[in-house]
Chains A and B, each alone.
Chain A
């Protein structure tokens, strides 16, 4: 099994640019989660989907952030416009039912 796939692994961009992070969950999983990890705030859940439908987006920091899941095998997290304070590692995770989330390797985002 390939596990959760995230791309790109590293992204460096300039303030004001649009950033799109991508995630392919494990085949057959019905939940998908987006997390952000920073030194200051630790690991935070941003949003999660069940069967491609957003269930809870209360962790999305502001309107500059948006997430979509057009089908069961693909999700995106978009930041527009990006700011230096968005620099973090963004993780995608998926699960089959609750309790056991499988994490991807993460995307390290640096906004200059």
Chain B
């Protein structure tokens, strides 16, 4: 069965600083991996996805993530944080069909001015 661990339930960065949100996965089959963002009182929005193509995946709003099989990781990064990036971020893994998503517990990102 697939599972996801997000290290750090809260991350705080200064505006303009690097954003790094950590995600490690467990999967018995080659995984599909996703990052979603949730703003307060809204649904989830897909930031980016890894579906076995390039290991470095670029998403919306300047975010990217790198799939590292040897480390079973899929960390999310952004070179320079913006106030509008403050939200909760979820990493998710799916098995072979890309449909049944298993989500991590989420990381709340705070951006300080």
By a beta-carbon cutoff of 8 Å, the part of chain A in contact with chain B is 4, 31, 33, 42-45, 48, 50, 55-56, 91, 93, 95, 98-106
CB within 8 A of A56: which of B36, B41, B100, B104? B100
Q: Is the CB of B49 within 8 A of A4?
A: no
Q: Is the CB of B99 within 8 A of A48?
A: yes
Q: Is the CB of B45 within 8 A of A103?
A: yes
By a beta-carbon cutoff of 8 Å, the part of chain B in contact with chain A is 32, 34, 36, 41-46, 49, 51, 90, 94, 97-106
Q: Is the CB of B46 within 8 A of A101?
A: yes
The 4 A-B residue pairs with the shortest CB-CB distance in the complex, in nearest-first order: A98-B98, A103-B43, A43-B103, A103-B44
Tell me if A's interface is mostly helix, strand, loop or mixed.
strand
Residues of A with C-beta under 8 A to B101: 45, 101
Residues of A with C-beta under 8 A to B106: 42-43
Q: Is the CB of B43 within 8 A of A91?
A: yes
Docked pose: A43 CA to B4 CA in angstroms? 12
Residues of B with C-beta under 8 A to A100: 46, 49
